[in-house]
Amino acid sequence: MSRVDTAPTGAMPAPAGLLDRARIVARPGFNRWLVPPAAVAIHLCIGMAYGFSVYWLPLSRALGGGKALACPAGTSLFAELLASNCDWPVSDLVLTFTIAIVLLGASAAIWGGWLERAGPRKAGFVAALCWGGGYLIAAFGVFVHQLWLIWLGLGLIGGVGLGLGYISPVSTLIKWFPDRRGMATGMAIMGFGGGAMIGAPLANSLIASFPAIAGQNVAITFAVTGVIYFVVMTLGAFGYRVPPDNWQPEGWTPPAESGRPMITTRHVHLHMAPRTPQFWLIWAVLCLNVSAGIGILAMASPMLQEIFAGKLIGAPDVGFTALDAHQRAAVAAIAAGFAGLLSLFNIAGRFFWASLSDRLGRKNTYTVFFILGMIVYASAPSAAHMGSKALFVACLCIALSMYGGGFATVPAYLADIFGTKFVGAIHGLILTAWSTAGVIGPVLVSYLRDAQISAGVARSAVYDRTLYILAGLLFLGFIANLLIRPLDDKWFMQEEDEARRELAAHPAAKVVSGSFGIGRGGFTAGALLAWLAIGIPLAWGIFITLSHTLVMFR
């Protein structure tokens, strides 16, 4: 590998630490197809955030057993955080998910620039500590029946792990696959959508295997899965490599002009991007798209159980409140499969829609998301009242594929508008839209549910109004997407500024452009083994998901 050495004569560079970025710069002969499995491994773990809903009903009746032991009337939220003698309402438990998503966006925005400097390995390892450690803290919280510890573990600390784990591979894979930008962003975060597909049925099986005394089954489940997630995420973090500066795939050269006005070949600096209208329009597009989908994901398991109840197990006349303990367990298992099925479409949509956006363009792809999304969200209540489980599930599966596709497409959208140099950090900033959506979606769904139940609305109809409101949010997103235009020249960095910043960022060595034999190989034996390591758990998750789905439609 040829380098231009600018280090002072006689100066000895400090040895790179095990987690440092300099330690993971790829060497000649490295196969770029080894990087995506490392990213997917981490995202499969943190993607269990989408499966949190399987915990809510067992935790909401941890002390009362078959029926929740309600706190005294008038108990404040602060008092419920410290209460150890009554069960927590589902709406309070859902706030754990909300806190985690808020911290995801906040941590991605705060430490996105640090990640670009420190490298994905260090960020991935810190994410493993936070996510696995957060589960252990939550396990202790359930054991002592303290809601604030669950918020602290899975919400606050786990949320930091979500943010760092989520953005750690994005800019890395965009740089490894500049020739397939949309596909790269789809690979970068497709695992996040599939986390619940594996984690939800696993958690449900563990919960059913341990004694359900004061929530001990959930506490043990938290502890076991927390250790598993830490180990898998650490292995993924150590699998990361970054390309040398100015690396490009052999035989590929970037076009001098893209010929497409919505794709720039220049770069906007991290500090300038939030000053542009386009940044905030993309922020709104992501926020509104996510608000609709995330509200469904946060309540997927309770939603299916309450709307269809006995219909899921061949007892069409049995409503949710009339289910006995055995029926509740059977319905919960099917609902866990439903959460997994949504994850299957979530993960497939991330790769499918992001790859398709390379052909359609990012703006046109989001237009499809919003128009089709409005149709399926508005149709879901009618499907439920018709008693058509297949149509209801199909509506939400299509919606969730576009929800996942929106996440996977937005990094490429940002790279098209702002360039690739700071796309990782800009993506971190834009994820504050996810934090906002993490409040809007779950709170909207859960609190409207509680309000409808309090008003005496039948459990099978408590989500109707919410689904219509979510369709309205997608209409607003459609308008925001229409307003996005290419950036004016004044926002782009000048070539001399880019060269100066590049030299300042890497004063000791400047890599001469070229492939250096790096990134070759395709699916070699090593790459195949790496993909099998994530493919086998995914295959298990798909099998369990489809098995539970078939039960749903008997």
Condensed to tens digits (0 to 9), the pLDDT of residues 146-155 reads 999 999 999 9
d(CA 188, CA 29) in angstroms, rounded, equals 22
SS3 271: coil
Cite the beta strand spans of 34-172 per DSSP E.
none
End-to-end CA distance of the chain: 61
> In this predicted structure, what is the pLDDT of residue 57?
83
Q: Which of 379, 375, 403 is nearest to 464 (CA)?
A: 379
**189 close to 407: Cβ distance less than 8 angstroms:** yes
**58 close to 212: Cβ distance less than 8 angstroms:** yes
Neighbours of 330 (CB within 10 A): 18
Q: Which of 1, 60, 3, 59 is nearest to 30 (CA)?
A: 1
> In this predicted structure, what is the pLDDT of residue 209?
87
Q: Which of 160, 115, 167 is nearest to 137 (CA)?
A: 160
d(CA 290, CA 301) in angstroms, rounded, equals 18
**44 close to 534: Cβ distance less than 8 angstroms:** yes
Number of H helices, E strands in the chain: 20, 2
> In this predicted structure, what is the pLDDT of residue 225?
95
CB-facing half-sphere around the CA of 58: CA atoms within 13 A:
30
> Which of the residues in the chain have pLDDT under 70?
1-16, 66, 214, 253-260, 340, 495-523, 548, 551-554
The alpha helices in 386-492, defined as continuous H runs, are 389-418, 423-430, 432-454, 464-482
Sequential DSSP letters for 178-246? TTSHHHHHHHHHHHHHHHHHHHHHHHHHHHHHS--STTHHHHHHHHHHHHHHHHHHHHHHHT--BPPTT
Taken in order of first residue, the domains within the chain and their CATH numbers are 24-69+78-252+262-492+517-552 (1.20.1250.20)
d(CA 10, CA 337) in angstroms, rounded, equals 63
SS3 511: strand
Residue with tokens 């957060």: 134
The C-alpha angle with vertex 190 and arms to 524 and 390, in degrees rounded to 5, equals: 120
Structure tokens at 139: 């396990």
> In this predicted structure, what is the pLDDT of residue 102?
86
Structure tokens at 397: 């599966």
Cα-only R_g, the chain: 24
